Structure 1
Amino acid sequence: MTSGILNLFRLNDKRALITGANGGIGGAMAVALAEAGASIVILQIPGDTNTSTKDELIALSAEFSVYDCDLTSVSNIRETVKKIIDEDGIPIDILINCAGVSGHKPILDVDDTFREKVFNVNMTANYVITQEVGRRMIERGKGGKILNVSSLAGMLATKNISAYAGTKGAVNQFTSAFANEWAEHNIQVNCLCPGYILTSLTRGYFENEPGFKDYIMSRTPMGRWGTPEDFRGITLFFCSKASDYITGVRMPIDGGLHGR
């Protein structure tokens, strides 16, 4: 990326805070932004030993830092954002909310513990961290990019994922609300809605339930499950100047399944 149109995608001197970046979709997003010149701040589950993303960032000689944060705790989220930005002096230009928990249960089997964990990580944490980082973007006065990772489940009704789907529907609406309210501050807020993506969290369905795997592929026009690498280009687009006049978008990343 040296000149002309490609300069729109350069992220030199930009700092990206990413939740759920220690692998899977979040890891691919982190590496993509690092390759474009951004420095990366990984927000991880306390004590997470997964080094896959960190190893890739080291191989790129990318600048990155790691902070533990319990996303089920609102107070810990606020303390961690304060630590990163206010105390350690790392201004955040890009926020990616990728961390999430899944789980399939019929509605009548969803107990309080399960529901609260899904709601807290997928919905409350998304709102609070966006609120806290966005507040500081506004105070800084240089705009910013916020990219939420939702799910096709937040757009299409399916069975046995009522709690998960509800949180992802909320994230879609958060995206619209934040985008509308913060457009005047030159902060663009957009959302990716993955379909069936092959990661460590979904590999069991892919490998152990051939009927389910075949059903999904039969409904997907592109005839395959997605991979984390499918998120690299679209992430760079939404986190760079290339998308400066685009906000409030819910973008399916699903091989065309949403249109079936």
Structure 2
Amino acid sequence: MFEIKGERVLVTGGSRGIGLSYVEALAGQGCTVVFSHYKDTDKATAECERLNAASKAEIHHIESDIADPVQTEALVKEAVRIMGGIDIMISNGGICKFTEFLDISIDSWKRHMDVNMNGPFMVTQLAAKQMIKQGNGGRIIFTTSVGAYRSNAGQTHYCASKAGLSLLSMGMAIELGEYNITVNSIAPGWIHTDINDKESRDLESVTPWIESKLAVGRLGKPKDLESAVLFLASKQAEYTTGSTIFVDGGWNAQL
């Protein structure tokens, strides 16, 4: 059993997909969780009501565009106000608009960098400062991607942003260790979420290509990432930092 109960957790991008699975797992451990979402109020409200009723946990949501420094600062301040502090910060919010390289606009490039790398930098820096102020250490966890290590057609901008995020997490781990703050990443493979729903349902062309790269022979589900996030958030992971856990069905093991 992982020792997490009672921790105060901030999760970005928590209303759907992988982020929602993180919230569900932590709620099941009795954590107090605040999660952010972007223009998804109805879904976020419904999930909070469901989880608060099912787990007797304390789950809250805040709308926030993590690419906006003003909104990101307000998100962290409000999360601290609600919970009284932050013990675990999970930077999960991200976007991926599948586009061929020659068709990527500068606006799309900038938006992917702002949401996938600049936003995570801002929110985790603010959370780290709060943890240092509290004086009890903490856990910072990023959702990166196997795309941080091997790129894909149609995802050049996404993969570049995730590669930057991976090195950001390592640099933070080096500098925050003295404050007893660990920084780690989870690198999912092809997990069926809202981001890739259309592609995941393309049974004729995309599915055979994806499954040919997966040792386990199936697409991933958000639930597949729960044990990784629970471990990295727990006291059992106090000597694990600057590391990445691949949850990819064997994708990254292949040439």
TM-score by length of 2: 0.94
Q: Residue by residue, what CA displacement relative to the aligned partner does 1:81-126 show, whole Å, maximum 9, x if unpaired?
A: 12332x4462000011111000122222111221121111101100
Q: Does 1:16 align with 2:16?
A: no
Q: Check 1:166–1:31 CA distance in 2 against 1; reply closer, same or farther (3 A cut).
A: same
3-state SS of paired residue (2:47): helix
- Kept in 2: contact 1:21–1:53 (CA 8 A): no
Q: Percent identity?
A: 27
The one-letter code of the counterpart of 2:166 is N
What is the aligned counterpart of 2:147 among 117, 141, 153? 153
Aligned residues: 252
Q: Within 5 A, what are the aligned runs for 1:86-165? A: 87-88=81-82, 90-165=84-159
| Cα distance in 2 for residues equivalent to 1:166 and 1:97 | 17
| Cα distance in 1 for residues equivalent to 2:47 and 2:101 | 35
What is the aligned counterpart of 2:73 among 37, 61, 78? 78
> Which shifted more, 88-97 or 168-177?
88-97
Match of 1:3 in 2: none
Q: Does 1:61 align with 2:61?
A: no
- RMSD between superposed Cα atoms in Å: 1.5
Please state how far the C-alpha of 1:74 moved relative to its aligned partner: 0.9
- Kept in 1: contact 2:11–2:34 (CA 8 A): yes
| Cα distance in 1 for residues equivalent to 2:90 and 2:19 | 8
Please state how far the C-alpha of 1:202 moved relative to its aligned partner: 1.8
| Cα distance in 2 for residues equivalent to 1:47 and 1:254 | 27
The one-letter code of the counterpart of 2:14 is A
Please state how far the C-alpha of 1:44 moved relative to its aligned partner: 1.6
Match of 1:253 in 2: 247
The one-letter code of the counterpart of 1:22 is S
- Kept in 1: contact 2:27–2:51 (CA 8 A): no
- Kept in 2: contact 1:10–1:37 (CA 8 A): no
Q: Residue by residue, what CA displacement relative to the aligned partner does 1:166-192 show, whole Å, maximum 9, x if unpaired?
A: 110011001100001001111010001
Q: Check 1:92–1:168 CA distance in 2 against 1; reply closer, same or farther (3 A cut).
A: same
Match of 2:175 in 1: 181
| Cα distance in 2 for residues equivalent to 1:22 and 1:89 | 19
The one-letter code of the counterpart of 1:31 is E
| Cα distance in 2 for residues equivalent to 1:132 and 1:108 | 36
